[in-house]
Copies of this chain bind each other. A is one copy, B any other.
Amino acid sequence: MLSTNPFDDDKLHEECGVFGIFGHAHAAALAALGLHALQHRGQEASGIVAFDGSHFHAHHAMGLVGDNFSDEAVIRRLQGSLAVGHNRYATTGDTVLRNVQPLFADFEFGGFALAHNGNLTNAMMLRQQLNRRGCLFQTTTDTEVIVHLMATARSGSVVDRMVESLRQVEGTYSLVAAAKNVMIGVRDPWGVRPLVLGRVGDSLVLASETCALDIIGADFVRDIDPGEMVVITADGLLSLRPFNAQPHRFCIFEHIYFARPDSLVEGTSVYEARRRIGVELARESHHPETDLVIPVPDSGVPAAIGYAEESGVPFELGIIRNHYVGRTFIEPTDQIRNLGVKLKHNANGHLIQGKRIVLVDDSIVRGTTSLKIVEMMRRAGAREVHMRISSPPTTHSCFYGVDTPRKEKLLAHRMSVAEMAAYIGADSLAFVSLDGLYRAMGLPGRDPANPAYCDACFTGEYPITLTDRDTPTDANVTYLSEAHG
């Protein structure tokens, strides 16, 4: 099948977006809007759980928020002034509805709904231990480990159980949870994944990014701190710090690609960060004999604008995007299969013809898409194609909640920059340097002793233990293939 998203195929993918709102008459309707604003963090499935003071109501569905949560009957069912939601990007195994979050469980204290952005690095080990105690898992998600640890905790309240549970897990998490009359937000001690607090009227909001506040007209209050747990009830917000402090390691790839450019994450404008990376990139590697700076749409645009400003080469749209995104098309022959790249983008041939162009993109993962774009530019008549990348070479896999290929599949793991240039067919190729990247973030450069961000995908320096990777267990996870009619 021809996908309409060919250029996205070779991106790293965020696994999730989370959202919660407490104390609003139209909580579920706003949660749907918030998840829509966070759709870029996960497009596979979504769920919302609402609490109406006595009962919980849930709706989970495969597909886009706009397709599944725009039906009035759906929203009406999700009664209550407290709602938590989740967008999912699936990484492994069958995609099954029972894996769609928020997870829900009945506790002695009542119902509990949990939405998780991040990835636990000791989930398999914990799952095996829980299995041996008689715990039955219903999903294949790492997140369910948190729920079972809560169920088997000694103490009673939802907050105590969450703390006891989270003290046992390793890895990354930004969580939004709902129980009877309470909404809880937590961020892991390293603060790898984002989580922000907002306010609309008297209602408090938790969301992965500020763009989800903007869409509902909420004001940004502050980031949830690394290692902070906020407990939101009718009495207000209580801030707890139940974990040992750790050095802050926010994911720098959020700035490079994941977050929406109109979001403010960790106090920095994403758009501005990208534009400044483009500036650094031009300073480090501009090829002087070029006619046009062309962004690979749409993620390459801010860096290309910065690059063009710094280099003085005109910024032009050399690749045009088809906004009407169908899913896939039939490809009866190889001939048609090769057209795939054009479903979503087309070269602006008249502009490109005979020109020496700088193509600006944010990253190269496997290189398959870069290869097609360079080829598309050449077929459209580009005389020279100089590729510039607004991140350092991606050489290592992420275990903290981002879907990356195994490192053997990463082009930068297998090849030098020169080899990569040859592979994708570019006349030249350059990446922004690690120090350049940190400079764009407003720092003097990367401090190797204590880097300000998690940059493991570029450096292989993993700040959090990788228990499951290092000591694989034989935890029993039956991947039941499941469908519903």
Query: Looking at the complex, which one of B29, B132, B269, B482 makes contact with A336 (CB distance below 8 Å)?
Result: B29
Q: Are A1 and B70 in contact (CB under 8 A)?
A: yes
List 17 interface pairs A-B (beta carbons < 8 Å), by A numbering: A25-B332, A37-B322, A39-B323, A55-B480, A56-B481, A61-B485, A62-B485, A63-B485, A69-B326, A106-B480, A110-B476, A110-B478, A211-B346, A260-B346, A262-B320, A271-B348, A271-B350
In the complex, how many angstroms separate the beta carbon of A314 from the nearest chain B beta carbon? 6
A residues whose Cβ falls under 8 Å from a Cβ of B: 1-2, 4, 25-26, 29-30, 32-33, 36-37, 39-40, 43, 55-72, 74-75, 77, 97-98, 104-108, 110-111, 131-138, 147-148, 151-153, 211, 214-217, 260-262, 264, 269, 271-272, 275, 298, 301-302, 305, 309, 314-317, 320-333, 335-336, 338-339, 342-343, 346-351, 476-485
Asked if A58 meets B214 with Cβ closer than 8 Å, knowing A272-B350, A476-B106, the reply is no
In the bound complex, CA of A330 to CA of B350 (Å): 43
Q: Are A66 and B29 in contact (CB under 8 A)?
A: no
Kindly list chain B residues whose C-beta atoms are within 8 Å of the C-beta of A324: 36, 39-40, 43, 64-66
Kindly list chain B residues whose C-beta atoms are within 8 Å of the C-beta of A347: 214, 262
Kindly list chain B residues whose C-beta atoms are within 8 Å of the C-beta of A107: 131, 136, 476
Q: Are B478 and A106 in contact (CB under 8 A)?
A: yes
Kindly list chain B residues whose C-beta atoms are within 8 Å of the C-beta of A480: 55-58, 104, 106, 111
In the bound complex, CA of A305 to CA of B322 (Å): 19
In the complex, how many angstroms separate the beta carbon of A263 from the nearest chain B beta carbon? 9
Asked if A74 meets B483 with Cβ closer than 8 Å, knowing A67-B327, A107-B476, the reply is yes
Q: Are A136 and B485 in contact (CB under 8 A)?
A: no
In the complex, how many angstroms separate the beta carbon of A327 from the nearest chain B beta carbon? 6
Q: Do most interface residues of chain A lie in helix, strand or loop, or is the interface mixed?
A: mixed
Kindly list chain B residues whose C-beta atoms are within 8 Å of the C-beta of A40: 322-324
Having A39-B323, A64-B324, one finds 10 other A-B pairs with CB under 8 Å, namely A33-B343, A36-B324, A59-B485, A60-B484, A135-B136, A138-B138, A215-B343, A269-B348, A271-B350, A309-B314
Asked if A36 meets B262 with Cβ closer than 8 Å, knowing A56-B480, A67-B327, A105-B136, the reply is no
Query: Looking at the complex, which one of B72, B481, B482 makes contact with A330 (CB distance below 8 Å)?
Result: B72
Smallest Cβ-Cβ distance to A33: which chain B residue? B329
Q: Are A332 and B108 in contact (CB under 8 A)?
A: no
Kindly list chain B residues whose C-beta atoms are within 8 Å of the C-beta of A64: 324, 326
Q: Are B132 and A29 in contact (CB under 8 A)?
A: no
Asked if A148 meets B133 with Cβ closer than 8 Å, knowing A262-B347, A317-B261, A342-B214, the reply is no
In the bound complex, CA of A70 to CA of B314 (Å): 38
Q: Are A264 and B350 in contact (CB under 8 A)?
A: yes
Kindly list chain B residues whose C-beta atoms are within 8 Å of the C-beta of A65: 324, 326
In the bound complex, CA of A484 to CA of B57 (Å): 11
Output the residue of A37, A75, A271 with the most chain B CB within 10 A: A271
